[in-house]
Structure 1
């Protein structure tokens, strides 16, 4: 896929020959080379790769979305990664025309700083959902409800309390919490916390659990810390 040339923020961290392929709620990102062109004794901070979308329209609407995100660790000076492929959760943008770009950022101990970008010259088009689609669905649901008898609940049935994740919508707590608070969660590897910061915003608990190293017990622990 052809890339438009844009002025990068830091030419010492480079992206070469990038592409993407969207498959339902996943996107496969391919990069021929990610390099650190700095001196040999220079170790980069943790690097973050994001697929971003910029709205293109005539209504002067300014909007930028993060469609996919992952961290790729550190790279020593004069070293590089080749033939990189990342299978990531994909957040579909709203209806309209979007300019897509891969952005490479570096962690500076406080936040991620944008270092380099690769823009794709083919706009990504998202069609609006027909207005009557949702109405039809609602009608079908009402018909199904009308013919489905309500099950009788035994008076001796026990009420099971939901887990921490279900009670507080864990992924929303991660999306809204400050970076500093997430990184200070005790009992959780710092690299995993950095991944959560890098890959948010999340659209569901399943998306959080897809983060490498994450599990239900670990997520419960993180949410408990963020909501206490």
Structure 2
């Protein structure tokens, strides 16, 4: 299955709401824009997290579901999924909705939408608050009560990626070597890896390059579009 076909499977709009160990994902539209009669492979929807400021960051899957197949020139609208939510470790994360298609061997990334606001989990503090307790003999003694982990508020509205992450690999493939190597704000070693490893066939392939995460990819694409 070629990359151009994969690009014709898209997700548009939506958001999420976390309730304890569940997450409610809503998507306005999941479409197969291929020619009529071109049935997609089995589709998988994932809510993923990429750690901010770490460079190359492996995706942490927070929720996942199978949504079946979609015929060419057909779409699903007003989709809601109530899924088990797996909290990421402490840190600052960029969340993304990702649409994958089964190609007979593995799931391949077709489209993604990134949330603008970061999702932050604070690490439990070693500090503790002192609480007075009374033992069996009536003597007061201090007991330690560890502080609980704090989850900062999240933005529930997802914004479709406007920097072209989903098609960013095409910009990297088409860019002249000298322009790619002069991208500002990007370590030269990362740019050299991109030159050496292209052409890329998907966004996922670019994100597998050492040092390239969603934020870094957005920066590179923005520089190439100038």
CA distance in 1, matches of 2:5, 2:99: 10
Query: What do residues 152-179 of structure 1 show as CA deviations (whole Å, max 9, x unaligned)?
Result: xxxxxxxxxxxxxxxxxxxxxxxxxxxx
Contact 1:22 1:28 in 2 (8 A): yes
CA distance in 2, matches of 1:132, 1:52: 31
Structure 2, unaligned runs of 5 or more: 136-226
Picking from 93, 99, 108, the partner of 1:104 is 99
Do residues 74 (structure 1) and 69 (structure 2) align? yes
CA drift at 1:122: 0.6
Do residues 46 (structure 1) and 33 (structure 2) align? no
Identify the residue that residue 129 of structure 1 maps to in structure 2: 124
Structure 1, unaligned runs of 5 or more: 1-7, 137-142, 144-228
Contact 2:24 2:80 in 1 (8 A): yes
Contact 1:9 1:116 in 2 (8 A): no
RMSD (Å), alpha carbons: 2.5
- Provide closer, same or farther for how the CA distance between residues 46 and 83 of structure 1 changes in structure 2, counting only shifts above 3 A: same
Query: What do residues 8-66 of structure 1 show as CA deviations (whole Å, max 9, x unaligned)?
Result: 99330010112111111111000000000001110001000000000002x54734200
Contact 2:49 2:59 in 1 (8 A): yes
TM-score normalised according to structure 1 size: 0.52
CA distance in 2, matches of 1:62, 1:85: 28
Contact 1:18 1:118 in 2 (8 A): no
How many residue pairs get aligned? The number is 129
CA distance in 2, matches of 1:11, 1:109: 17
- Provide closer, same or farther for how the CA distance between residues 95 and 9 of structure 1 changes in structure 2, counting only shifts above 3 A: farther
